[in-house]
Amino acid sequence: MTDFSIRAVGDSAVTVEFGTGIDPAVNAKVHALRSLLSEEGVPGITDMIPTFCSLLICYDPGVIRFGEICGKIRRVAEGNLASAAAPSRTFLISVCYGGDYGEDLPYVAEHAGISEREVIRRHSAPDYLIYMLGFLPGFSYLGGMDPVLETPRLSQPRQLIPAGSVGIGGSQTGLYPLDSPGGWRLIGRSPVRPYDPRRKEPILYRAGDKIRFVPIDEREYRKIEAAVKAGSYECPYLEGGKRR
């Protein structure tokens, strides 16, 4: 039995809350409920937004009313959400660290009191959980960065950060899916595009998947960049221990 609460968000959405902390176990329940509800194909549900510890469910009250949708959600959420966890994939995102690709790498190293090489080693070691996507298409909120790498944001955000930039902002890390202003410290850049409207699945990954950063050199960067431009690059990922 899972603890959760359902709250009305106006007349066309409800939020299901599983806790009030950033915790992989809580987040897993959010994604499990989302996949169970999509599998069941509840008529009237128009969209779902999974976040750290809650799931926003948008619905058409002309098809399903508030009381009915709450009953439906309760029946599904009271089941065993743990066993419903969707299989998670780990995307291998190639990153060229430092130099022109990550101009703040020296600052991050100095702030942490370690070498640049050690920053790269620690940043590319974990599998980061994608708790949620938001802010911009494909912008991932990742959990699991080594606390040694925590670096305060820039006091004055940059006007333009190129798509693919990998940065650190406070205790968070991630990559920019689009050219955008931003205040994160840039340590590298990936030629991989998490968001590409030309792809069948415009967004590479889903919330609940994981990301591992793989250090590459400039030559490899150019090679992948060319393949991405040509539309022939397929980002490798691990699923069930196998590389796909």
Considering the rule CB under 8 A, would residue 151 count as an interface residue with other proteins? no
Considering the rule CB under 8 A, would residue 197 count as an interface residue with other proteins? yes
Taking the CA atoms of 63, 86, 25 and 192 in sequence, report the sign of the dihedral they define. Answer: negative
User: Minimum distance between the CB of residue 1 and other proteins, rounded to whole angstroms?
Assistant: 23
The amino acid that residue 222 corresponds to is R
User: Minimum distance between the CB of residue 141 and other proteins, rounded to whole angstroms?
Assistant: 7
The binding track of 97-136 with respect to other proteins, each residue x by CB under 8 A or -, is -----------------------------------xxxxx
Nearest to 168 by CA among 120, 117, 235, 218: 120
- How are beta strands 237-239 and 242-243 bridged, if at all? antiparallel
Considering the rule CB under 8 A, would residue 72 count as an interface residue with other proteins? no
* Candidate ranges 63-71, 143-151, 185-193, 214-222; the one touching other proteins (CB under 8 A): 63-71
CA distance 171 to 107: 15
CA distance 20 to 208: 18
User: Minimum distance between the CB of residue 137 and other proteins, rounded to whole angstroms?
Assistant: 5
One of 2, 44, 58, 236 touching other proteins (CB under 8 A): 58
For residue 198, what are the β-bridge partners? none
CA distance 131 to 172: 12
Phi, psi (deg, nearest 5) at residue 184: -80, 155
User: Minimum distance between the CB of residue 37 and other proteins, rounded to whole angstroms?
Assistant: 12
163 contacts 177 by C-beta, under 8 angstroms: yes
Considering the rule CB under 8 A, would residue 188 count as an interface residue with other proteins? no
Residues in contact with other proteins by the rule CB under 8 A:
7-13, 15, 20-22, 34, 46-56, 58, 61-62, 65-67, 132-139, 141, 177-178, 195, 197, 202-203, 206-207
